[in-house]
Amino acid sequence: MRPSGAVRYFVALLLATSSAVAGTPVPLKQGTGLIISGAAGLPDLARGEQAAAEGRHEDAERDLLPLAERGYLAAQFGLAKLYGGWERPDAADKAIRWYRVVLPKMPTVQVPLARLLLRDMPSPAARNDAEQLMRKAWTQREEIEALAGLLKLYREYPDQDRGHHFAADVAKAERLDRAETNLALLSWYRATPRIEGHPERLLALCRKTLNLAPECYVDLATTARNHGDRPTVRRLGGTLLSQLRAGVVPATVAASFARSVISDSNPDLIDEAPLVLADLPEDNTPPDTNAAPPATQGSCPEAPINWTLTPPAANAPPATTTARAPASAPLIPEPELADAIVHRLLDGPLPMQVLAAGIIVRFPSLAPEVPLEPLLLAGRKQGVDDAALYLGQLYIGGQRALRQPAMAREAFEAAAQQPMTAVTAEYYLGRLYQSGYLDEVDPQQARDHLLRAARAGYISADAALAHLYSSGKGVCPNRRYAYVFARLGAQDGTAPALALLENLRKALTPDELRVGDALLREELAARAATGVAS
């Protein structure tokens, strides 16, 4: 005799419940319940893992969370991975929580947990925790990714290396010659060009690992340009274009390459080099090195040194200089190569087009047929990274669109709210207020915005602050403050910044120089406390 419908219902329910409790749920198809068609059914580990693999985060959470809360290790681990890759405001915190739950039974989660702890301007406590996790993963199991993570941590936060492990870790990574650690070494060499041997090591490693580190195209091309080796520059550009079409080289790297080969000056900071504002003499007129800056007149109560001002948070560390040999021949721009890269980016999706527009804004002779304003407005409407920043630069540059300072300010204020563009936007806001483009000079606004950018690692902001306090344009001149920021701003190597520093050194008395050096140490200490190395 066949069982009745009610009996079949309860047998199915019993099987499903016992299967889930045993940790081996019965797989169900998406959107089909085991008992009732169209219902989600009971939590299912395999179904949750499949949903996570397919990027269906809500479906995966619906299956994995109940099982994780009941103590199933596989579900807890799957949920941690799910939250770790989920772009949701609370996802990272949830991932950290579940990784900590499984950590005692799964030590192999130490590295992914450490990476989450170091995401988005980590606190000192988070850095300490991440360091301990990666140190254990390296010493106990020799996980290569843990060693690479330690190198990255110590490079970005030098004060974190209280145990003085960094030198030994670097030496170990150099001997291992593994892809993961080689990428970390490239970043270390690139950030420390003044250490003997690092420029040579960077170039040697770039030639060896170019396929794994496309950003090396910029290092190799800039070095070739410094030596007047145009055939190598063009060969690298041709290869990069080919790999860009194949999707091997990221669009951001191609954009950096285009900027690096068309610039005729300041190659070390080409990604940071600001637009020239023709109305500001420090941008394009070398200062008179025989004229002494004005002495401090009266009192300037708004002192920037030791003045608490938090720099904008950014997802990425500040730009660093690229190690390379001094130029032995004049830098010859390669506009045809840059133009080819720009047009290839313009053929891509909107984010690539916005990157191309950013290059054209900086170098307006490129792609003269392209209407930039509509493109950047479309990118901003779609929330494309950098679109607001480039739009502000377009309005302030006055070459491919009418100069509109008020609209530039609005665009820069929007860009200042985005982590990836906040630092650069603060710089340009400071320049707007410093220049008087907004009807009159506002020295307090200029100082505030420039100091935020400077303390976040934007070297050109230091140079602008030095000019602000040296010229006394709208603010009390203060030669000691000017000297401090000139010392910091001279790192960009531009002729005006170096000339101003030399001018100040000649003008200041020995006592003023001693005070200036003491103030410089205080400013550096303040920046070190926020994780910015200058």
pLDDT, tens digit, 9 for 90 and up, residues 230-288:
999 999 999 999 999 999 999 999 999 999 999 876 444 444 445 555 444 444 444 44
User: Token pair of 19, please?
Assistant: 């299967």
* Residue type for position 380: R
Averaged over 428-442, what is the pLDDT?
A: 83
What residues does each domain of the chain span? 287-294+303-313+448-534
- 287 vs 465, higher pLDDT: 465
Going 443 to 446 to 449 to 455, the CA torsion angle's sign is: negative
For the stretch 312-369, pLDDT in tens is 654 443 333 343 444 445 678 999 999 999 999 999 999 999 999 999 999 999 999 9
Q: Given a cut of 50, is residue 484 above it in pLDDT?
A: yes
Averaged over 515-531, what is the pLDDT?
A: 82
- Contacts of 330-333 with C-beta under 8 Å, sequence gap 24+, read 330/228, 330/264, 331/225, 331/226, 331/263, 331/264, 331/265, 331/267, 332/225, 332/228, 332/230, 332/264, 333/261, 333/262, 333/263, 333/264
Do 533 and 490 touch, CB atoms closer than 8 A? no
**pLDDT band, residue 304 (cuts 50/70/90):** low
For the stretch 207-236, pLDDT in tens is 999 988 999 999 999 999 988 899 999 999
For the stretch 10-31, pLDDT in tens is 444 344 434 443 444 433 333 3
For the stretch 308-320, pLDDT in tens is 545 565 444 333 3
